[in-house]
């Protein structure tokens, strides 16, 4: 018997990807509702991806995670965490309520939690799903999720600067091919090289090649420091000694929580009879004419969790 398939959708990451996809071309495209002038570009891109996953992955279960406003425990650990990021553009903020309307019309449960990021909910829910013999595909535009890949968790992720039409499904082997380390070692890699997108510093002047070599040799940051005298060349050993606290903190900041106070109730996430009338009405209101033919059948769900991995 095939295992059930849970799709976990990284709401914030997909919204931002959708917004920037329309902004990134030489001639930025702004989709508006002709009758009202309401900007709906990000809503359209988000809905496209939602329909793509429903139709192509055919999940038996589905859930969406969003960030909550306000600081997280990572900001308490490091006040410069994500401090360099510009504020969310007003034209994107104005679309967030519409996105929620869309999700609610499809009757997909939303998870969000004070003090935690959507990543932590994706980690927690996928971890719980594995314990319940459910396979998971995490749909995200954030490479941090690669650390969550396991025998029963895969990540659907667009390659750099590509749209989700070119998204690749990463299993354990694909993560190792791309990053040179195992999924569970991604946090060690980020601890050494940092993550500019989140303003995580890492160890200065230690690049990805040296970092992956050290991780392949020793396994983890903790083991690197337990055998620091064996690290070569001496220049790298010196940098590691001088920045031990930064390396350990950077790994901690990059680690996705898998035991956040959230509970996966499969019966509440099961794909079933979504509100097709409300969805169609919303599509008419937002003038998403081309998307109406992509609506899945009522109660459509997965019969298999098999999907081609990244090559």
- Residue 311 domain-assigned (yes or no): no
Same domain, 218 and 230: yes
Same domain, 108 and 240: no
Q: Give every CB contact of residue 305 below 8 A, 6+ residues apart in sequence.
A: 2, 3, 4, 5, 135, 137
- Other beta carbons less than 10 A from residue 109's beta carbon: 16
- Residue 300 domain-assigned (yes or no): no
Whole-number Å distance between alpha carbons of 203 and 201: 7
| Residue 163 to residues 24, 58, 95, 139, Cα–Cα distance (Å) | 11, 20, 20, 13
- Residue 250 domain-assigned (yes or no): yes
Residues 219-251 pLDDT 10s:
999 999 999 999 999 999 999 999 999 999 999
Give pLDDT tens digits along the chain (311 positions): 689 999 999 999 999 989 988 876 666 778 999 999 999 999 999 999 999 999 999 999 999 999 998 899 999 999 999 988 888 899 999 999 999 999 999 999 999 999 999 999 999 999 999 999 999 999 999 999 999 999 999 999 987 655 667 789 999 999 999 999 999 999 999 999 999 999 999 999 999 999 999 999 999 999 999 999 999 999 999 999 999 999 999 999 999 999 999 999 999 999 988 889 999 999 999 999 999 999 998 655 544 444 445 54
- The tokens for 66 are 């969003």
Instruction: Specify the residue for token string 């790298």.
Output: 236
Using only C-alpha atoms, the chain has a radius of gyration, in whole angstroms, of 21
Residues 241-295 pLDDT 10s:
999 999 999 999 999 999 999 999 999 999 988 889 999 999 999 999 999 999 9
| First-to-last C-alpha distance (Å) of the chain | 27
Range of the domain at 37: 5-178+256-294
């Amino acid at each position: 018997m095939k295992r059930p398939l849970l799709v976990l959708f990284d709401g914030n990451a997909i919204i931002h990807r959708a917004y920037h996809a329309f902004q990134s071309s030489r001639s930025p495209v702004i989709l508006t509702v002709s009758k009202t002038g309401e900007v709906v570009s990000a809503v359209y891109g988000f809905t496209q991806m939602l329909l793509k996953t429903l139709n192509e992955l055919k999940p038996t279960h589905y859930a969406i995670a969003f960030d909550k406003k306000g600081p997280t425990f990572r900001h308490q650990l490091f006040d410069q965490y994500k401090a360099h990021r510009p504020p969310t553009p007003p034209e994107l903020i104005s679309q967030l309520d519409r996105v929620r309307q869309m999700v609610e019309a499809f009757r997909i449960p939303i998870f969000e939690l004070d003090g935690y990021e959507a990543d932590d909910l994706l980690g927690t829910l996928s971890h719980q799903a594995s314990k319940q013999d459910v396979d998971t595909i995490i749909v995200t535009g954030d490479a941090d999720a690669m650390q969550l890949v396991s025998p029963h968790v895969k990540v659907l992720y667009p390659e750099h600067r590509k749209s989700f039409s070119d998204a690749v499904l990463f299993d354990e082997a694909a993560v190792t091919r791309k990053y040179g380390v195992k999924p569970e070692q991604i946090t060690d890699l980020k601890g050494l090289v940092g993550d500019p997108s989140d303003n995580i510093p890492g160890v200065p002047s230690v690049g990805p090649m040296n970092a992956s070599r050290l991780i392949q040799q020793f396994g983890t940051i903790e083991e690197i420091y337990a055998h620091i005298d064996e690290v070569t060349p001496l220049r790298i050993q010196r940098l590691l000694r001088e920045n031990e606290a930064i390396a350990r903190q950077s790994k901690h900041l990059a680690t996705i929580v898998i035991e956040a106070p959230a509970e996966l109730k499969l019966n509440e996430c099961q794909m079933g009879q979504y509100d097709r009338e409300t969805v169609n009405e919303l599509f008419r209101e937002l003038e998403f004419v081309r998307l109406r033919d992509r609506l899945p059948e009522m109660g459509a769900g997965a019969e298999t969790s098999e999907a081609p991995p990244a090559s």
